[in-house]
Amino acid sequence: MPEAAAWRFQKITAPIMDIPVEHKVLVGRVLTAVGDEVIENGFVEIKDGAIVAVGKASDRTDLDATYVVKTNGTILPGMFNSHAHLAWDGVHDLARQALDDSPEISAYKSATNMLKSLRAGITTVRDLGMNQSNFAAKQAVAQGIFPGPRLLICGEAIVQTGGHTYWCCREASGADEMRRAVREQVRGGADLIKIMASHDLHEFTDEELEAVIDETHRNGLPITAHATFDSIIHRVVKFGIDVVEHGGSLSDETIALLLERKVPIVTTFAPIVQQSVPEIARKFNVPDWKLAERQKAVADKSRYEGLKKAAEAGVPIVFGTDAGSPAVGHEVVSPEMQFMVKVGVVKDNYAAIRSATSVAAKMNKLDSKLGTLEAGKLADVVVVDGNPLEDLKALDNVTMTFVEGKRLV
């Protein structure tokens, strides 16, 4: 493993936010995310930061104890948002935020958006970059400076000089500079590396792409790529990328390659979904021409046929919202999942929930600790009013969020 980030060597006498680990028995409908398992009138017991028991409430003899909470709702694993940008606010222009926001303002935005994430039942955020802001957010959570979800960060996304969203990324040219860019993110404490592999055209030379992927893997980290159409998805997977962000049109040949290499896709429909709703679009000053464009995009199911075919073939589809994009706040969960079901990249509501729990945990190599409600897993647990299997909007009504047994909502 690479050397730890410098802040990891700091001695911490005590966290500023010292939130206690609770002992609770939560009673309600339990969605374990182990397949389609549902325990009606079930319980989840959390203690010392872990899940110690899951089962039927009728098996308990202590339901009148003070540590028992009868939720009258649904209990599910803490969710992952596997594509988010904590330092973007979902309101203002992305480029102007990236160019104009001071590091201090980016930190405040990240803090606010971590709280929004927790209130939405998101207990792990995979932050895919906005300048170097996520380094500070990661440190703040890890050192108990600010309460937040678990963070998996890329540091700065890496882009060819002048490439897609160069104004918020680490620009690099040539193979050696690509390796240097990776090493800088590793030094800062990145959990993964992200590259911007395309916009309208392919980006990176073959030598650059080979170098950035090799250097990432040499450092023991996964690498993910912004890739939005068939030829670029095929290219980056062939070169050895581990995850595809966004996805797009997919040929049968590319789907076969994704399956062969076991590469998942993190879909991010929320921007077009949110911006296609007139009252939302106008609230966020989305121009009429873009509203019309978005409405056309959400209505055209053929646009997503390749992703649907990939999912049906067995390519893992993982929940992400591109949170921080215009009109996409970090609390937006159900619109993304509803659209995933609508276009067929997941088969039903439970599969949509698993895309943010068990499937996401597996993609992030955390499935031994997270993603399902099972004894021995870390106590990342969420309680919502209502039944999301009947209506995913129930996920908008989070009443409790625990991260490793600490109640943060």
Same domain flag for 347 and 313: yes
Residue 3 lies in a domain: no
Examine the domain organization and report whether 153 and 275 are in the same domain.
Answer: yes
Indicate if 59 and 204 belong to the same structural domain: no
53 and 116, same domain (yes or no): no
Cα dihedral 203→273→237→125 (10° resolution)? 100
For every residue of 240-271, DSSP letters joined together read T-SEEEE-----HHHHHHHHHHT--EEE--HH
Token reading at 193: 């590396």
Q: Residue 297's pLDDT is what? A: 96
Please state, as a whole number, how many other Cβ atoms lie within 10 Å of the Cβ of residue 369.
14
Output the pLDDT for position 153. Answer: 98
pLDDT along the chain (409 residues), means of 10: 91 91 98 98 98 98 97 98 98 96 98 98 99 98 97 98 98 98 98 97 98 98 98 98 98 98 98 97 94 96 96 98 98 98 98 99 98 98 98 98 98
Give the type of residue at 135. F
Domain closes at, from 344, 363, 382: 363
Residue 1 lies in a domain: no
Q: What pLDDT sits at residue 2?
A: 85
- In this structure, the answer to whether residues 74 and 84 fall within a common structural domain is no
d(Cα 12, Cα 334) in Å, to the nearest integer? 38
Contact 267, 320 (CB under 8 A): yes
DSSP state of 143: T
CATH code, 33: 2.30.40.10
State the pLDDT at residue 342: 98
pLDDT at 58: 97
Torsions phi, psi of 160, nearest 5? -65, 150
- Indicate left, alpha or beta for 278 from its phi (over 0: left) and psi (-120 to 50: alpha): alpha
Q: Are residues 211 and 347 in the same domain?
A: yes
| CATH at residue 218 | 3.20.20.140
215 and 268 assigned to the same domain: yes
pTM for this model (two decimals): 0.98
R_g of the chain, CA atoms, integer Å: 21
Q: Judge whether 91 lies within some domain.
A: yes
Domain count, the chain: 2
Q: Has residue 178 been placed in a domain?
A: yes
Query: Residue 46 in contact with residue 23, Cβ under 8 Å?
Result: yes
Residue 346 lies in a domain: yes
What range defines the domain where residue 167 resides?
A: 79-363
The reply to whether 211 and 131 lie within a common domain is: yes
For 221-230, letters b (16+ CB in 10 Å) and e give bbbbbbbbbb
Q: Do 28 and 136 lie in a common domain?
A: no
Q: Is residue 11 part of a domain?
A: no
User: Which residues, 6 or more positions from 81, have their beta carbon under 8 angstroms from its beta carbon?
Assistant: 117, 122, 124, 125, 126, 319, 320, 321, 323, 330, 333, 356
Residue 149 forms part of a structural domain: yes
User: What is the distance between the alpha carbons of residues 45 and 53, in angstroms, rounded to a whole number?
Assistant: 5
Residue 48: DSSP 8-state: T
CA distance 241 to 221: 11
Torsion of CA 396, 401, 368, 322, to 10 degrees: 40
Give residue 141's pLDDT: 97
Give me the pLDDT at residue 173, please.
Answer: 98
- At residue 269, the pLDDT reads 98
Check whether residue 166 and residue 235 sit in a common domain. Answer: yes
Residue 19 lies in a domain: no
For residues 50 and 148, membership in a common domain is answered with: no
Pick the closest to residue 382 from 78, 150, 122, 151 (CA basis).
78
Residues 273 and 402 in one domain: no
Residue 34: phi and psi, rounded to 5, are -90, 100
